[in-house]
Structure 1
Amino acid sequence: MTDLRRATTRDLAAILADLPAYWGDRDVRHLHHPMFVREFGDTAFVAGDVDGYLFGFIAPAHVGYIHAVAVHERSRGTGLGRHLHAAFASAARSRGATRLKAITGPANAESIRFHERLGFTARLVTDYSGPGQDRVVLTRELP
């Protein structure tokens, strides 16, 4: 499996320059704020030549929050997404997190299925991101 390393601002620039290779036609530039690399860099992972990445942080309530995770189209189906999740879970656990959390839109069936295969429970929360902005909240306890 590809070695993971801490994400850099150069990695972030490469991701932003090639977003469709990770996210298709979805406009997710807003999810890629530099703070995830600059301020939460110890939980921002990149694989290989930016074959995949995960940006997350540890919330004060002992929750490892997975903000964005994506695998480049050239590396899908290799287990890289699982590898990124495992690395983040380990980092979160070492910092005192007792569970993981991720958020996605109700229409993102692929993400929901992926997280459920990793042991997450999916729950639809009405108005999670404001009126009319339902989200699926994915959670998993850390052993």
Structure 2
Amino acid sequence: MRYRTIQESDYEYVIERLNSWWGGRNMADMLPRLFFTYFHESSFICIDEEKIVGFLVGFVSDSVKDTGYVHFVGVDPEYRHSNIARTLYSMFFQYCKVKDVTAVKCVTSDVNKASIAFHQKIGFEASGCDDKGNPVVALNYDGPGEHRVLFELQLGRL
């Protein structure tokens, strides 16, 4: 497997498979082409032979000083548990460090328990936890009924 920055030409391959990678959930609306066009230096893909098997779309914020943001991460279900997402995140963290970023943020759906567990495993902390240690959900964060768990990772802790 090899890794490189995203190119605009990767968009069609990814978008055609995105919903199936999420078990039929409609995710394509959350990943417009603009991310592959304007954020390709800070976004990465994993390729196995000629097949894209994982990607991370991220950027350094122009508005929030010293902060990077991961907008979307996806791995082909056949390749999960192969450290692809972890490697993509590591590449983004390295990119951020070069840009003097100190924190990386992301959000995930409150129903995506695997994503919540993964982000916690690689060092992200939820914005808050209940008395049982479960991440607090930000209700209606992305609109009515679109609840999210907010995560942050301090790069100095890596």
TM-score normalised by L of structure 1: 0.91
Structure 2 residue 121 is matched with structure 1 residue 117: yes
Distance 1:82 1:127 in 2: 28
Indicate the SS of the match to 2:52: coil
| Alignment match of 1:127 (pick from 140, 143, 148) | 140
Gaps of 5+ in 1: none
Structure 2 residue 53 is matched with structure 1 residue 51: yes
Q: Which residue of 2 aligns with 1:138?
A: 151
Distance 1:73 1:130 in 2: 28
Structure 2 residue 103 is matched with structure 1 residue 103: no
C-alpha RMSD of matched pairs (Å): 1.4
Q: Which residue of 2 aligns with 1:91?
A: 95
The sequence identity of aligned pairs, in percent, is: 28
Alignment of 1:25-64 (within 5 A): 25-48=24-47, 49-60=51-62, 61=64, 62-64=66-68
Distance 1:139 1:75 in 2: 26
Q: Which residue of 1 aligns with 2:131?
A: none
CA positional deviation for 1:103: 0.7
Distance 1:82 1:30 in 2: 24
- What are the superposed Cα offsets for residues 62-110 of structure 1, whole Å, 9 maximum, x if unpaired? 2110000011122111111100010011111111211111111111111
One-letter code of the match for 1:51? V
Gaps of 5+ in 2: 128-136
Distance 1:16 1:129 in 2: 21
CA positional deviation for 1:21: 4.2
One-letter code of the match for 1:99? A
Q: Which runs of 4+ in 1 moved over 6 A?
A: none
Distance 2:145 2:86 in 1: 31
- What are the superposed Cα offsets for residues 89-138 of structure 1, whole Å, 9 maximum, x if unpaired? 11111112111111111111110000000011123223322344331001
> For this pair of structures, how many residues does the alignment match?
142
Structure 2 residue 72 is matched with structure 1 residue 72: no
Distance 2:91 2:110 in 1: 26
Report which stretch shifted further, 17-26 or 76-85: 17-26
| Structure of larger gyration radius | 2
Distance 1:19 1:128 in 2: 22
Contact 2:19–2:28 (CA<8 Å) still a contact in 1?
A: no
